[in-house]
Amino acid sequence: MKNLMRSIVILSFLAALFLMGCTESNHSEKYNPILEKYVEYWNTSEFTGIEEIIHPDFEMRSTPEFKPEKGVDNFKEHVIKLRTAYPDFHMDIKELIFDSDKVAGLWTISATNTGAGMHPPTGKHIEVIGMSIIHFEEGKIRDEWVAGNSLFWMTQLGFELIPPKTDSE
C-alpha cells in the first residue's frame, strides 16, 4: 500500500510537471509571432500591421522613472527617433520566459550613433544589455516595462558623469 501511494504521488508530480511544460510551450507558440513582429518594428521602423500586434492602449515604461509613454503613435515616434540617432540599431533577443499573459525577456542592443535627435552624434558604437516584461491583453502587447543601463550606454558614447562642485572647491 505504501509503495502504491508513493507511485501515485510520483506520477501526480510528473503529470503536473508535464502539464506545466505544455502550458509554457503553448504560451511561447501563442506569443512568439507577436514578439518577433514587435522586435522587427524596433529593428526596421516599418510598422506594417502594428494594429494587430500592439494594443491601442499601449504603454511603454522605461528606467529610471518608469513614467508611461502612452499610445501606439508615441511608440512609433520613439522608435523613429531612436533609429534616426542610431540608423544601424539592432535588437537581439537572448532569452524569453513565458507566462499566461506576460513574457520576460533578456535582450542586447548594438548601434552606432551617427544621427542627431536624441543627443549630438558621436560616431561611436554601443552594445548594451537590458530586460523587458511585456504584458498581453486581447492577444496584443498591452505594455512593456524596460530596464536598461543608460549610464553604460552614454559612457560608451563618450559622455561623462561629472560630480557637482562642493563648497570647498
**How open is the CA angle 153-143-56, to the nearest 5 degrees?**
125
Q: Looking at the predicted structure, is the pLDDT value of residue 121 above 80? A: yes
Return the pLDDT at 57.
97
**Lowest mean pLDDT across 14-18, 39-43, 104-108:** 14-18
- Quote the mean pLDDT of the chain: 88
Q: Which fold has domain 2-156?
A: Nuclear Transport Factor 2; Chain: A, (3.10.450)
Domain ranges of the chain: 2-156
Which one is predicted more confidently, 2 or 106? Answer: 106
pTM score of the predicted model: 0.80
Query: What are the residues facing 145 on neighbouring strands?
Result: 61, 133
Return the pLDDT at 6.
60
pLDDT band at 25 (very low <50, low <70, confident <90, very high): low
Q: How far is Cα 123 from Cα 65, in angstroms, rounded to an integer? A: 28
Contact predicate 35/134, CB 8 Å: yes
Q: Looking at the predicted structure, is the pLDDT value of residue 18 above 60? A: no
Return the pLDDT at 44.
96
